[in-house]
Amino acid sequence: MLTIAIRAARSAGNQILRAVDSVGQLQIDQKGKNDYASEVDRQAESEIIRIISKAYPNHGFLAEESGRQNSDSDYIWVIDPLDGTTNFLHGFPQFAVSIALKNKGVLEVGVVYDPQRDELFTAERGGGAMLNNRRIRVTRQTSLTGSLLGTGFPFKKQQHLEPYLGMFRALFIDSAGIRRAGAAALDLAYVASGRLDGFWEIGLHEWDMAAGVLLIKEAGGVVTDFSFKDKFLESGNLIAGNPKMHQLIYQAIEPHVTDSLK
Ligand code: IPD
Ligand code: CA
Ligand code: CA
């Protein structure tokens, strides 16, 4: 199943790459506040579903652009065909394909593919996490001092701006830097591969997170929601890092967590 996920991610990634030079001519729809999708998002998603369905005709899907299909199946593929659409539409080179597989709710396979750098992040439950077939690990960082963190701004859910800014301030003061690169699936892959010491974001969707979460767990990291529990796929609020960094980020943001973020 990992092989099929990789085939689908690479094929969609190549489609996206071919469209990079013509973003100005794309048809773009606005789905909500600051939320856009182009024909490239939809074509990449169809390609992924076509490849997976051919191999596994009875499996189900939760995909960003087409929603749920065959939800009764034990196997559900969770797909973000183009994570970082805003970046892509502006020619800002940070976006990826994210594909995960759940079996009875348990994450089994995760693939995040950055077509521009040809970086393929893969994980299988119990099998570790890899970048281009080399084993990756979370960092050994044990303090906020000197750490490099990633985050996402709550640009679609601006009601959370004030608590977010409180969290940002708390982490900004102690860390060496905070990056907002604009593609959550890649942010999580960067935590898994030790490029970031930790990450937090409010208001993600399951398809943004599923593959990256398995990558982090298989790379020795910890992921929770803002209540230190594992309901992040439901709430969309997520903290990630190695065990120590995860705890430090949790402690810094906890005073700013409002009831609606728990
Ligand atoms: C978005 C990106 C972004 C995150 C947003 C996501 P999309 O995904 O991952 O980094 O901050 O919350 O929705 O819409 O580009 O697939
Ligand atoms: Ca996304
Ligand atoms: Ca997307």
Which of the listed residues 40, 87, 179, 208 should we mutate to test ligand 1's pocket, taking the one with most ligand atoms within 8 A of CB?
208
Ligand 2 geometric centre to CA of 202 (Å): 13
Ligand 3 geometric centre to CA of 197 (Å): 24
**pLDDT value at 1 more than 90:** yes
Ligand 2 geometric centre to CA of 154 (Å): 13
Distance between CA atoms of residues 200 and 250, nearest Å? 9
Cβ(147)–Cβ(198) below 8 Å: yes
pLDDT band at 92 (very low <50, low <70, confident <90, very high): very high
List b or e across 109-126, with b for residues whose CB sees 16 or more CB atoms inside 10 angstroms.
bbbbbbbeeebbbbbbee
Distance between CA atoms of residues 223 and 238, nearest Å? 7
Which residues fall within 8 angstroms of residue 59, CB to CB, at 6 or more apart? 52, 53, 70, 73, 75, 76, 77
Coil vs helix vs strand at 56? coil
The two tokens of residue 229 are 């529990």
The two tokens of residue 20 are 């990079």
Residue with tokens 């074509």: 43
* Sequence spans of domains, the chain: 2-135, 148-261
Pick the CATH number of 2-135 from 3.40.50.720, 3.30.540.10, 1.10.579.10, 3.40.1410.10: 3.30.540.10
**pLDDT value at 6 more than 90:** yes
pLDDT in tens, 183-205: 999 999 999 999 999 999 999 99
Exposed/middle/buried for 181, CB within 10 Å: 0-12, 13-18, 19+? Answer: middle
**pLDDT value at 102 more than 80:** yes
pLDDT (average), residues 106-126? 98
CA-closest residue to ligand 1 atom 11: 152
Residue with tokens 């065990």: 243
pLDDT at 25: 84
pLDDT in tens, 205-228: 999 999 999 999 999 999 999 999
Distance between CA atoms of residues 95 and 115, nearest Å? 8
pLDDT at 188: 98
Question: How many angstroms separate the Cα of 36 from the Cα of each of 28, 72, 245?
Answer: 7, 29, 33
Pairing of strands 222-224, 148-151: unpaired
Identity of residue 76: I
Q: Residue 71: which of 185, 206, 235 has the closest Cα?
A: 206
Q: Which secondary-structure segment (H or E) carries 4?
A: helix 2-19
> How remote is the C-alpha of 58 from its chain's centroid?
25
Fold for the domain defined by 148-261: D-Maltodextrin-Binding Protein; domain 2 (3.40.190)
Distance between CA atoms of residues 84 and 17, nearest Å? 13
pLDDT in tens, 35-61: 777 899 999 999 999 999 999 999 999
pLDDT at 30: 87
**What is the number of the ligand closest to the CA of 48?**
3
Ligand 2 geometric centre to CA of 82 (Å): 7
Mean pLDDT in the chain? 96
pLDDT at 47: 98
